[in-house]
Structure 1
Amino acid sequence: MDSAASAPAARMPFVRREREALADSLLSFGPDAPTILDGWTGTELLDHLIHRELVLPAAAAARSPLAPLRLRGRASLAALEEMTWSQKVALFRAGHGRFSPLRLADPVMNTIEYLVHHEDLRRARPGWAPRELATADERTVWTQLSLGARLLIRASVDLTLVSPIGGLRVPARSAAAESPVRVHGSVTELLLWAYGRDRVARVRLDGESAALLVLREANRGV
């Protein structure tokens, strides 16, 4: 792709570019592609993404007391049932309508969602390698992780996430009986670790053995 063609894509928000990349991977790998999530293939992953963005709003509309909205919601749900794999991927790729209020919430709701699930799909394939994000995109992800880290990591150990662009302290949920732990990695790897993707997250944990044991038994993710 030449620089003129890639310039508009480069100006897209990271959340939009990651949606496009995830859609490309889903279409390329197919509905039976494995993921690192137990019991989930590409089909379950795409169904999850469509459900949270499109099925839930359509189902709410289908119960509306307003007849036009109710009929539109029912028609949308019926249409989803008839879609092929490629049609569902195209629907996900299109995202929220231009005038949908949810479009404004896309960066907050979906930046992390798309990145984590894209890696769930990518890292289940033989020969996968970590992606290198642009510095600006890493900062976007780091900001989102900083906002949600205390909800994601529920441990009785004081933590510090250490990335190339900064550190993030995550206090213990209760009085810390053990010494602190430092978790080192790139922004993406720390994000995956915070979401409990231990099988594929490339991080390094530094701390005393007792603290590491407590952390290993703690809850992470949503």
Structure 2
Amino acid sequence: MSAEHLTERESLTRTFLDLGPQAPTILPGWDAEDLLEHLLLREGAPHLIAGRKLPGPWRAAAGRELERRRAAPWQERVERFRTGPGRWSLAGRVDALSGQGELLIHHEDLRRAQDGWQPRRLSAERTADAWRSVGLMAPLAMRVRADVTLVSPVGGRRLRSRGAVGALRVHGEPLELLLWVSGRDDVARVRIHGDEAALRALGEGRRGL
């Protein structure tokens, strides 16, 4: 099967195996191992994410379990990710409905931290997934006092803002717009047009969940 027709999970699995646990990501302070741990906990053990933030014995117990998980060989942990979330995983069900937006974004967090990276050529199915994720994520992720129109080769989406001071148009491929909506300005390849007030509002606003 060609790379462009792999599922996003399988494609990310192969990237994890190719790059190894110490590969950098664009996320401050995170390497590939941190990213993989985040995905595994999100899908299969969200209680440990919460446990790390609790005081006393709960935090200590969560820490011990996290250390035990990290002691497993890298390939074993990657294969666990490849298997996917269980049928009762809330994160898995959200991803299935949202077009795998979390996996698409985090795959690029890893890919685009490597020297010489280039945008991927996504299949029509993955492109549709990315565009669906844009539609679901943008209203939640964007807090900008400007009306924003997202323009891609597969369509457009307009986001109105209460108290807008101007209007922006952001052009790009669906995956690039997904990265931009999530606040990954340093790597998202988009073109932004707008009046001065709207551009200032963009700089003052925020994006991301």
Question: TM-score, normalised on structure 1?
Answer: 0.78
User: Which residue in 2 is equivalent to 1:121?
Assistant: 110
Task: Quote the sequence identity (%).
Answer: 44
How much does 1:33 deviate? 0.4
Which of 160, 164, 173 in structure 2 is aligned with 1:176? 164
Is the CA contact 2:95–2:102 (under 8 Å) kept in the aligned structure 1? no
Is the CA contact 1:55–1:77 (under 8 Å) kept in the aligned structure 2? no
> Residues 23 and 136 from structure 1, CA distance in 2 versus in 1: closer, same or farther, beyond 3 angstroms?
closer
CA RMSD of aligned residues (A): 2.4
Which has more radius of gyration? 1
Provide the C-alpha distance between the structure 1 equivalents of 2:190 and 2:70, rounded to a whole number of angstroms.
41
Which of 128, 147, 155 in structure 2 is aligned with 1:139? 128
Which of 39, 43, 65 in structure 2 is aligned with 1:49? 39
**Counterpart residue type for residue 156 of structure 1:** R
Is the CA contact 1:150–1:171 (under 8 Å) kept in the aligned structure 2? no
Which of 126, 129, 138 in structure 2 is aligned with 1:149? 138
> Residues 84 and 166 from structure 1, CA distance in 2 versus in 1: closer, same or farther, beyond 3 angstroms?
same
How much does 1:148 deviate? 2.2
Is the CA contact 2:17–2:78 (under 8 Å) kept in the aligned structure 1? yes
How much does 1:205 deviate? 0.4
How much does 1:54 deviate? 1.5
User: Which residue in 2 is equivalent to 1:31?
Assistant: 21
**Counterpart residue type for residue 151 of structure 1:** L
User: Which residue in 2 is equivalent to 1:217?
Assistant: 204
> Residues 82 and 219 from structure 1, CA distance in 2 versus in 1: closer, same or farther, beyond 3 angstroms?
same
Aligned to 1:101, what secondary structure does the other structure show?
A: coil
How much does 1:110 deviate? 6.8
Question: TM-score, normalised on structure 2?
Answer: 0.83
Aligned to 2:139, what secondary structure does the other structure show?
A: helix
